[in-house]
Amino acid sequence: MGWELDPMAVGGESLPLSVRDVVARHGGEFWFERERTRHRAFFRFRLPLAAAQDEAAAVATDGGRPEFYDFDLFQARPASGELDERSLAEITYTVFDTETTGLDPSLGDEIIQIGATRIVNGKLLRHETFEQLVDPRRAIPEASIAIHGIGPEMLAGQPTIGAVLPAFHAFARDTVLVAHNAAFDMRFLQLKQAATGIRFEHPVLDTLLLSAWLHPNQESHALEAIALRLGLDAGGRHAALRDAMLTGEVFLKLVPLLADKGVRTLAQAREAQRKTYYARLEY
């Protein structure tokens, strides 16, 4: 019974889910059996067949963009240790967003725009921004152009991601990264590590997961839906810098709400979104 109901430990990491939780979320069942004639005892699992999924699994949508969950996002990062016990209100953040050729980074979709701004001392610095178009060196589907309005003529002559990522990495130095549906954007950055040598090892906070932790009964945690609930103007989306600005405004509204529920430090916020990640993950 302990093996069935206790939190699992995988690779030295304790997970909030038990074996029973995982099987139930798969829509399966399992039970204990004994074969007395052969003196054997075992658990029998019955699980439904499912298609293979990428390690960053898209399980829902956020305004047309898949909601991504990536285990790597919640691993300890070198830069997080010294910041973990600091108040969320005191930390310097880089809030960013990307526009892309499509929704599947593992199948060759590329970043075509990065937009970012900073939060310092609890204030969104609208004059301290990073905004850059990127030549993806590939075609852009018409369906994607209809969403973000960035066509091939706008990207002609723009730098490639190999030149843009070092500049963005320098802009974000010594800060905590904030994004909405962060694993989606982080996956695009991670896939460029080998080619560019740029590693984003910053701590990461995700406004989607923090909102879901604060308000688990809300039907939608899309950026516009959260913004409207918090009394913000959600108009003019689907440009990377505008989306980053809106994400920053949402994050600043979430910080006092988190504090009201006892989440005041970076470590506590990271743990809250980690719990939400496992709660929202569907197998």
**Model confidence pLDDT, tens digit, residues 79-98:** 667 799 999 999 999 999 99
Distance CA 183, CA 165 (A): 17
Q: Is 238 a catalytic residue?
A: yes
| Mean pLDDT across the chain | 86
- pLDDT of 30: 82
Q: Is the domain of 162 the same as that of 212?
A: yes
pLDDT of 55 above 80:
no
Q: Is the domain of 169 the same as that of 199?
A: yes
Tens-digit pLDDT profile for residues 199-210: 999 999 999 999
Torsion angle of C-alpha atoms 101, 106, 111, 116, degrees rounded to 10: 130
- Name residue 69's beta-bridge partners: 57
**Average pLDDT of span 23-28:** 80
Note the pTM of the prediction, 2 decimals: 0.76
Of 16-20, 47-51, 103-107, 193-197, where does mean pLDDT reach its minimum?
A: 47-51
Tally the domains of the chain.
2
Q: Is the domain of 38 the same as that of 68?
A: no
Q: Which one of the listed residues 26, 169, 215, 238 is annotated catalytic? A: 238
Tens-digit pLDDT profile for residues 208-237: 999 999 998 888 899 999 999 999 988 766
Per the structure, the complete domain to which residue 35 belongs is given by 2-46
Q: Is the domain of 19 the same as that of 130?
A: no
Q: What are 101's two structure tokens? A: 């050729």
52 domain-assigned? no
Q: Is the domain of 117 the same as that of 40?
A: no
Nearest residue to 180 (alpha-carbon basis) of 101, 95, 54, 255: 95
Q: Is the domain of 212 the same as that of 107?
A: yes
Higher pLDDT, 278 or 55: 278
Describe the crossing of helices 240-260 and 266-280 by its angle, rounded to 10 degrees: 100
Q: Is the domain of 188 the same as that of 242?
A: yes
Q: Is the domain of 158 the same as that of 262?
A: yes
265 domain-assigned? yes
250 domain-assigned? yes
Higher pLDDT, 130 or 220: 130
109 domain-assigned? yes
Q: Is the domain of 171 the same as that of 218?
A: yes
Q: Is the domain of 158 the same as that of 256?
A: yes
51 domain-assigned? no
